Structure 1
Amino acid sequence: MKAFEFKPKLFLALKNYSKELFMADLMAGIIVGIVALPLAIAFGIASGVSPEKGIITAIIAGFIISMMGGSKVQIGGPTGAFIVIVYGIIQQYGEAGLIVATLMAGVLLILLGVFKLGAIIKFIPYPIIVGFTSGIAVTIFTTQIADIFGLSFGGEKIPGDFIGKWIMYFNHFDTINWWNTIISIASIIIIAMTPKFSKKIPGSLIAIIAITLLVYVLKTYVGVDSIDTIGDRFSIKAQLPGAEVPTLNWEAMKGLLPAAITIAVLGAIESLLSATVADGVIGDKHDSNTELIAQGTANIITPLFGGIPATGAIARTMTNINNGGKTPVAGLIHAVVLFLILLFLMPLAQYIPMACLAGVLVVVSYNMSEWRTFRALLKNPKSDITVLLITFFLTVIFDLTVAIEVGLVIACLLFMRRVAETTEISVITDEINPNEELDIAVNEESLMVPKGVEVYEINGPYFFGIANKFEEQMVQLGDRPKVRIIRMRKVPFIDSTGIHNLTNLCKMSKKERITIVLSGVNEKVHHVLEKSGFYELLGEENICENINVAIDRANQIIQK
C-alpha cells in the first residue's frame, strides 16, 4: 500500500514561481476578495452569527485552505450549504456548541485525508448531492422571507423548522413592510442584470453599494426609517479576535457528533466537488487527501477565532479561474484583501440593509437550487427519483443531518438491489456450447452434461444480496441429482453471507447424498474460500479449474 504523502500545491507552485504568475494571482486575488465580501457577510448573518464572523471565516479558513490545500485554484470560506446546519446548531447549543461541532468536524476531515478516504466521497450518489443541495436552497430562501417582506413578529421567536416558519409567516403577513420588499426586489434585479454589462465586478457587490447608498439617502433626506440595516441588529468589531479554546464537555460532544459528521461530510463533498470542477477547467488534478487535511485544519483553527464552518466554494473558485488565478497565491491574496477590508472598511457595513442581503441570499439559493438538474433527474429510474425526493424533503422538512444519513442508507440499499438484479443464475442440464464458453477446450464440438448432473452458472458477485436467491432457486427446482456443479468463473468476489450459504448448501447436499463441485473459481474468490475453511468441508478434489475438469470429476463420482 502506497504511503500517504501530504503535498500542498502551494509549495509545488512556488518552486517555479515568477513575476508574471504573481501579477496574475494578484489581480485574481483582489477580485475574488471583493466578490467574497458580500457573501461572507450574508452567510455569517444567515447562519445566526454576527457579520464580521463570516469575514473572519473567509480570512482564516481561506488562507489555510490555499496554503495547505491540494488544489491550485481552490478558494475556501463560508458557503451557503452550511447556513442550515450552523443555524440549527446555534439554536440548540449556542455558539459554544458550534465551535465544538466545527472542531470535531475538522478532526474528522483530517482523519479522512490521513486514511486516504478522499476518493470515497466520489461514490456518494449524484441524486443525494442534488437532493440536499436543492433542499438547502429552499431552506435558505425560507429563512430570508422575514427580511424580504420586513415582517414583524412582536417579539415572538421564529421557529427553526420549515413548516413552523411558514405558518408564522402567514400569520404575520399583515405586518409586511413594502420598503423592504422594494429593496429586496431591486437588489435581485441588479444582481441579475450585472453580468450583462460587467463580467469582473460581482452583481452582489454592486447591489450592496447601490442599495446601501439609496437607503442612506432615504433615511437621511426622505425620512424613511423603517428599513432595517446591519447596524440596527449587530454591533460590528473591525478586528480579528483573540483565539479562545472552548471548554470540551463529553456529554455535549456526544450530542454534537451527528452535526459534526454532517459538517465534515458536507465540507468534504463541496470542497472535492469544487476542486474537481476546477480541474476540468484548468486541466490539472487535485490531491483529494491533501485537500481534506487542509479543510480539516481550517475548521479546527477558524472556530477558535469565532469563525463558522468553511469549505471550498465553487462560485469563488470559478471567479478565481476566470480572472486569471494560476496558483494558491491568489487564494492567499484574497484572504489578505478581506483582512484589510475588515480592518479599514468594516464599520461601513453597518449601513447595509438587511433586505439587500436577503436579496443576495435569494440569488444564492436560486443558483444552489439546480432546478434544471433536479427536473432532469425526475426522468431517471425510479430508484434515483426515490433517493432524490426523500433526500430533498428530509432536508427541507427535518434537517440536513437526517437527510444525509437516510439518503445514504437508501442509496446503499438500492445499489445493492441493483447489483443483485445484475447477478444471473442459470441452470444447464443437457449440453454446453464450446463456442460460447471460454473455459472449454476448443476442439470439443459440445460438452455433454452427464445424466444425474446439474450445472449452475453464477454470473456476477456472490454477496448477501444474491446468496439467498441462489439457495431459493435450488429449492424451487426440487431435483435430486447426484452431482451439482457450480460454475463461478464469472464471480468477481464473495462475501461472508455467500460463504455461509455455500456452506449450508454443502451440508444440506451431503445429507441428501449430493456432491457439490466448484468450477472456474478465480484466484481472489479461491483465497477467500480457502481462508474461511470452506474447502475442508468440500474437499480439494472437488475444486476444478474449468468445466472440462468439473465434468470429468462428476463422471468419476457417478461411476462409483
Structure 2
Amino acid sequence: MLADERFHRYQFPDVKRDLMAGITVGIVALPLAMAFAIASGVKPEYGIYTTIIAGLIVALLGGSRFQIAGPTGAFVPILLAVVLQHGYEDLLIAGFLAGILLVVMGLFKLGNLIKYMPRSVTIGFTSGIAVIIFTGQIANFFGLRGVEKKEAFHENILELIQRFPTVNSYSLLTAVIGLLLLIIIPKIAPRLPVLLLALVIPTLISVLFYPDQVESIGSAFGGIPQGLPTFHFPEITPDKIMKLLPSAFVIAVLGGIESLLSAVVADGMTGKRHHSNRELIGQGVANLVTPLLGGIPATGAIARTATNIRSGAVSPLSGVFQSLFVLIILLVFAPFASYIPLASMAPILMVVAWNMSEQKAFMHILKLRSGDSLVLVTTFLLTVFVNLTVAVQVGLLLAMVSFIKRMGNQLEVEKVLPDQPHGEQVSPHPVNAGRHCPQLSIYTIEGPLFFGAADRFERTLTRSIHHRPKVLLLRMRLVSLIDATGESHLSSLVSDFQQQGGVVLISGIRKQPLEMLKKSGLYGKIGPEHFFPRTGMALRHGLTLIDREKCGSCRHSAFRECEGWHKSRETKREMAVPD
C-alpha cells in the first residue's frame, strides 16, 4: 500500500474529522497507557512515551490507515516477567530486538503466515493473559500493603491471601466507584469518555474527601515528568541478546498477531484493505525507536483502533493527532497525574481483562471435546502457571500434532473392483469375499500421502496384498500431495513388490505427486509405460500381464473377460478328449 493510496481523495474537511478522532482516541489511550505500564512493572510515564512515539510511527509507516498503536494487555505477562527477571534496562533491549524481528518478518513477507496461528492457541493465551491482568490488580483494588510481585502465578495468589488482612477501605471505596462508573456510564451516556471519567472522578473524590489515604502514582512512582526523556541507546551485548531473544521472539510474534488482527478488524469496519507486510515493518520500526526514548513494546490496539474508526477517522493523520494530543497532555498536565490513585486504575484494567478474556469463544472450543480443546486448555494453563513463551511454543506444537493426526486419518486405502472394465472411466466398488482377482489387485488411495500417513499407507497395503498378486494397480487421482516420507514408503512398497516379480501400475496421478516421483527417480523405477491417465486404460493393460492359465481354474469372475477365458479353456479341454 503506497502512502498516496492511504490519502486517496483526502480533502481539507477530512482534517477536522481526523483531528476529532485523534483527540477522542487520545482520551481513551492515556489512562490505558499508564495502566498497562504499571501492570507491566514499570513507571506509568513509560506507557505514555510508548503511546506517543509508537502511535506516531505506526500511523506514518504502517499498513493500515486506521491503526492505533500503543501498549496493550497482551504484552503485560511477558513484559512483567522480563522486568522481574532482568530489569527495565533489559526490557528495552528485548523490545529493540523484537522490533528487528518484526522488520525482518515484514521484509520476508511473513505477514500472511501469522494469520494461520490456530484459534485455540490465540484464545488460550489471550484468556490466560486476562486472568493474569485481572488477578494482578487485586492488590491495588483492595489497597493491600506490602504485596511483592512474584514471577509464578500461584506465588502471587498466596501473597494476596497473606496480605488480604491489610485491606484499605478507602482504596476499596475508590475502586468500587471507578468500577460502577465503568459499568453505568456506557449504558446511560455511551458517547462520554468512560475511561477518562472513571479515572478523573475517583481521583477528585479521593483528593477532596480523604487525601493521602490511598496510594497514588505520586507516592508509588514519584510523579510523572513533563516531556519526553532524552535519547538513550541501551547497552547490548551478545550475552544479553542470547538471554533476551526468546522473550523478544514472543513479543514480536504477539505484536505481529495483534497488530494484524487489529488491521483485519479495521478492514471489516471500513471496507478498506491493509498491507500486512508493511504493517509488520511499521510495527517493527516503532519498536526499534520507542525503547531508545524509554518506551515499552507496542502493537496495534484493537479497541483503540475501533474507537478511532467510530470517531470518524479518515486517514493515518488521526493516529498522528492522537500522539500529538497525548504529548500535549504530558507537557501540560503531567504534575496532576501524581494525584491519581492506583485503586482508580485497577478497575479499568480489570474491565479490560474481562473484555479480552474471550469467555464465549473459550467455552465454545472447550465444548467441542476435540484436539483443539486440549490445545486451548494446555495453552491457557501454561500461560497462567508457567509463562507465555512456553505456552505459545507448546500450544503451537500440540496444534501441529493434532493437525497432523487429523490429516493422517484422512488417508484412505481401499481395495476395489470396477463395474465397467472395458471403458476408460470406471466406477470402482469395494471388494467382497466372493468376488476378487487373485492376480490383479486394485486399490483406491484417497488423501495426502505425507509423513503423518505414510506408515499407515504402507502397512495397509502390505497387509492387504499378502497373497502377492501379479499386478498391483494404484488409483491415485484423489492423492492431493506426496512428501519425501510418503515417497519413501511408496518406493519401499514398489521395490518389495517388484522383487517378488510383480508389476505396479498407477492411474490418474496428479501433477504434484507425479513431479515428486520424477524427482526422486521412482517414476523411472516403476516405468513410464506403467502410468495411465485413467483406470480403464491401466486395467486393460494389467489384464494383458496376468497368467491366463491360472484364470481357467479361478471361479471368482472378477472381470467380464473372465467368462470368456473360462469358456475358452473348457473348449480346449473338450477338443483334447478322445472319442
TM-score class, shorter-chain normalisation, is: over 0.9
Q: Give 2:184's aligned residue.
A: 193
Correspondence 1:328-339 to 2 at 5 A: 328-339=316-327
Q: Is the 8 A contact 2:140 2:171 kept in 1?
A: yes
Match of 2:432 in 1: none
Alignment partner of 1:376 is 2:367: no
Q: Which residue of 2 aligns with 1:440?
A: 425
CA drift at 1:158 = 2.7
189, 197, 212: which one aligns with 1:206: 197
> 1:234 matched to which residue of 2?
221
The corresponding residue for 1:463 is: 450
Report the CA distance between 1:201 and its aligned residue.
2.8
Once the two structures are TM-superposed, the CA of residue 379 in structure 1 deviates from its matched residue by 2.0
Deviation at 1:353? 0.1
Structure exhibiting the larger radius of gyration computed from Cα positions: 2
Give the whole-Å Cα distance in 2 for the aligned partners of 1:473 and 1:523.
24
Going from structure 1 to structure 2, the CA distance change for 1:557 and 1:433 (only over 3 Å counts) comes to closer
Specify the SS of the correspondent of 1:281: helix
Q: Is the 8 A contact 1:147 1:358 kept in 2?
A: yes
The Cα offsets for residues 416-464 of structure 1, whole Å up to 9 and x where unpaired, read as 1111222222111x334589x9x6179xxxxx98651111111111111
SS in 2 for 1:237: coil
For residues 315 and 371 of structure 2, what CA distance do their matches in structure 1 show? 41
| CA positional deviation for 1:219 | 3.5
1:552 to partner: Cα distance: 2.6
The alignment partner of 2:50 has SS state of helix
Which residue matches 1:4? none
Out of 82, 85, 107, the position equivalent to 1:89 is 82
Matched, 1:522 2:510: yes
Q: What amino acid is aligned across from residue 513 of structure 1 in structure 2?
A: G
Q: Report Cα offsets for 1:350-401 as digits up to 9, x if no partner.
A: 1000011111111111111121221222222421211111111111111111
| Cα distance in 1, alignment partners of residues 439 and 20 from structure 2 | 81
Matches within 5 A, 1:4-43: 7-8=1-2, 10-43=3-36
1:511 aligns with 2:519: no
Corresponding residue for 2:402? 414
Do the aligned residues in 2 keep the contact of 1:38 with 1:205 (CA within 8 Å)?
Answer: yes
C-alpha deviation, 1:556, in angstroms? 3.2
One-letter code aligned to 1:464: F
| Residue 63 (structure 1) aligned to one of 52, 56, 62 | 56
* Amino acid across the alignment from 2:385: I
Change (3 A) 1:319 1:422: same
Q: What letter corresponds to residue 311 of structure 2 in structure 1? A: N
Letter matched to residue 372 of structure 1: K
Structure 1 residue 115 displacement after superposition: 1.4
Q: Deviations over 1:314-354 (max 9, x none)?
A: 11011111110111111111011011111111111110000
Matched, 1:475 2:462: yes
Q: Is the 8 A contact 2:72 2:299 kept in 1?
A: yes
Q: Distance in 2 between matches of 1:304 and 1:98?
A: 11
Instruction: State the secondary structure of the residue aligned to 1:345.
Output: helix
Q: Which residue of 1 aligns with 2:110?
A: 117
Shift of 1:510: 2.0
Matched, 1:182 2:173: yes
Equivalent residue number for residue 92 of structure 2:
99
Q: Deviations over 1:177-231 (max 9, x none)?
A: 12211211211110111112333332120011101111111244xxxx3300000
Structure 2 distance, partners of 1:178, 1:427, is 77
Q: Are the counterparts in 2 of residues 31 and 201 from structure 1 also a CA contact under 8 Å?
A: no
Contact 1:34/1:205 (<8 A) preserved? yes
**Partner residue of 1:536?**
524
Q: Over the residues paired in the alignment, what is the CA RMSD in angstroms? A: 1.9
Shift of 1:521: 1.1
Aligned pairs, number: 539
Name the CA distance, whole Å, in 2 between partners of 1:345 and 1:37.
Answer: 12
> Secondary structure of the equivalent of 1:558?
coil
Distance, in Å, in 1 between the alignment partners of 2:458 and 2:96 is 49
SS at match of 2:477: strand
Is this contact kept in 2: 1:52–1:238, CA < 8 A?
Answer: no
Distance 2:107 2:256 in 1: 13
- Give the corresponding residue for 1:216: 207
**Secondary structure of the residue that 2:87 maps to in structure 1?**
helix
Paired with 1:511 and 1:76, the residues of 2 have a C-alpha distance of: 66
Structural mapping, 1:308-327, within 5 Å: 308-327=296-315
Q: Which consecutive residues of structure 1, in runs of 5 or more, have no partner in the other structure?
A: 1-6, 443-447
Instruction: Tell me the TM-score normalized by structure 1.
Output: 0.93
- Show the 5 A alignment for 1:327-406: 327-406=315-394
- Quick check: 1:35–1:201 contact (8 Å CA) kept in 2? no
Q: Which residue identity does 1:349 align to in structure 2?
A: A
Q: Partner letter of residue 203 of structure 2?
A: T
CA displacement 1:48-76 (0-9 Å, x = unmatched): 11111101000110011111111121111
Task: Give the TM-score of the pair, scaled to structure 2.
Answer: 0.90
Query: Residues 92-143 of structure 1, C-alpha deviation per residue, up to 9 Å, x if partnerless?
Result: 1111211111111111111211111111111111111111111100000111
Tell me if structure 1 keeps the 8 A contact 2:148–2:159: no
Distance 1:516 1:124 in 2: 41
Q: Find out whether 1:424 has 2:409 as its counterpart.
A: no
